[in-house]
Structure 1
Amino acid sequence: MRRRLLSITLGLMTALIIAATSTHAEIGRPIALPDFQRQSLLNGMEIFAFAGNQERVPFQLVVVNGAAFDPAGKWGLTYLTTRLMVETGKDRSGQSLQTGLKAIGGELTYKVEWDGIWFQGSAPANRLTDTLNIVGQMIVQPQFEEESFAAIRDQVIAELQKKAGEPQFATHERFLAELFDGNPYGHLVRGNPTTLRNIVLGDVRLQYRKLFIPNQAHLAYYHTGNQEAVFNGLTRRWGSWVKGNPLPFAFRKAQPSGENQIVLLDRTLDQSVARWGALSVARGDKNAYALLILEQYLTLSLPGWAGQVAGASQVRASVSVETRTMPGFVAMNLQTPPPQVAGYLKKFIDTLSEIQQGQIDKQRFEEAKRLAFMEVRSSLENPDGLLRQLLETSLYNLGVNYILNFGVRIDRFTPELFQTATKEHFSGNNLVIVVAGPAESLQSQLSGFGKVRLLN
Structure 2
Amino acid sequence: MTASVETLSSSPTNVKALTSAGGVEAWHVESDVVPLIAVSFIFEGGSAHDPAEKPGVAQMLARLLDEGAGEYDSDAFQERLAARAIELSFNAGNDAIGGSLKTLVKHADEAFELLRLALVEPRFDQDAIERVRAQTIAGLRYQQNDPGVMATRRFFEEGFAGHPYGRPTSGTPESVAAITRDDLVAMHRAMIARGRVKIAVVGAISSDNLSVLLDKVFGSLPETKPLSVIEAASLQKIGSRIVVDLEVPQSVIRFGTPGIAWRDPGFIPAYVLNHIFGGGSFTSRLFQEVREKRGLAYSVGTSLVSYRAAAMTWGYTATKNERVVEALDVIAGEMARLKEDGPSDQELQKAKDYLIGSYALGFDTSTKIAHTLVQIAFEGLGIDYIGRRNALVTAVTQADIRKAAERIFGGGKMLTVIAGRPTGL
TM-score in terms of structure 2 length: 0.88
CA distance in 1, matches of 2:274, 2:109: 40
Picking from 235, 238, 247, the partner of 2:215 is 235
**1:279 to 1:192, Cα distance in 2 relative to 1, 3 A:** farther
SS at match of 1:260: coil
Does 1:344 find its partner at 2:332?
Answer: no
Contact 2:66 2:74 in 1 (8 A): no
Residue-by-residue CA offset, 1:312-352 (whole Å, 9 max, x unaligned): 8x732222221122223212211222233222211211111
Give the aligned partner of residue 267 of structure 1: 246
1:225 CA displacement: 4.4
SS at match of 1:357: helix
Give the aligned partner of residue 76 of structure 1: 56
1:256 CA displacement: 4.2
Give the aligned partner of residue 120 of structure 1: 100
Picking from 11, 21, 38, the partner of 2:17 is 38
Give the aligned partner of residue 377 of structure 1: 360
SS at match of 2:134: helix
The residue type equivalent to 1:120 in the other structure is: S
The residue type equivalent to 2:61 in the other structure is: T
Q: How do 1:116-195 residues align onto structure 2 when only pairs under 5 Å count?
A: 116-195=96-175
RMSD: 2.4
Picking from 282, 298, 301, the partner of 2:277 is 298
Does 1:205 find its partner at 2:179?
Answer: no
CA distance in 1, matches of 2:348, 2:217: 50
Higher relative contact order (CA 8 A, sep 6+): 1
- Unaligned runs of at least 5 residues, structure 2: 1-10, 279-283
CA distance in 2, matches of 1:327, 1:233: 36
**1:279 to 1:86, Cα distance in 2 relative to 1, 3 A:** farther
**1:242 to 1:307, Cα distance in 2 relative to 1, 3 A:** closer
CA distance in 2, matches of 1:270, 1:337: 6
1:162 CA displacement: 1.1
The residue type equivalent to 1:350 in the other structure is: G
CA distance in 2, matches of 1:267, 1:93: 43
Give the aligned partner of residue 408 of structure 1: 391
Deviating beyond 6 angstroms after TM superposition, the runs of 4 or more aligned structure 1 residues are none
Contact 1:63 1:117 in 2 (8 A): yes
Q: Percent identity?
A: 19
More divergent stretch after superposition (420-429 vs 383-392): 420-429
1:308 CA displacement: 7.4
1:207 CA displacement: 0.9
Give the aligned partner of residue 266 of structure 2: 287
More divergent stretch after superposition (167-176 vs 266-275): 266-275
Contact 1:44 1:214 in 2 (8 A): no
Give the aligned partner of residue 321 of structure 1: 304
Does 1:278 find its partner at 2:261?
Answer: no
CA distance in 2, matches of 1:285, 1:150: 42
1:223 CA displacement: 3.2
Give the aligned partner of residue 49 of structure 1: 28
Aligned pair count? Answer: 409
CA distance in 1, matches of 2:349, 2:22: 46
- Unaligned runs of at least 5 residues, structure 1: 1-31, 447-456
1:108 CA displacement: 1.7
**1:428 to 1:371, Cα distance in 2 relative to 1, 3 A:** farther
Does 1:108 find its partner at 2:88?
Answer: yes
The residue type equivalent to 2:198 in the other structure is: H
Picking from 94, 98, 123, the partner of 2:78 is 98
Contact 2:158 2:237 in 1 (8 A): no
Residue-by-residue CA offset, 1:381-421 (whole Å, 9 max, x unaligned): 33222212211122112212332211122222211221122
**1:74 to 1:311, Cα distance in 2 relative to 1, 3 A:** closer
1:69 CA displacement: 1.4
CA distance in 1, matches of 2:73, 2:329: 63
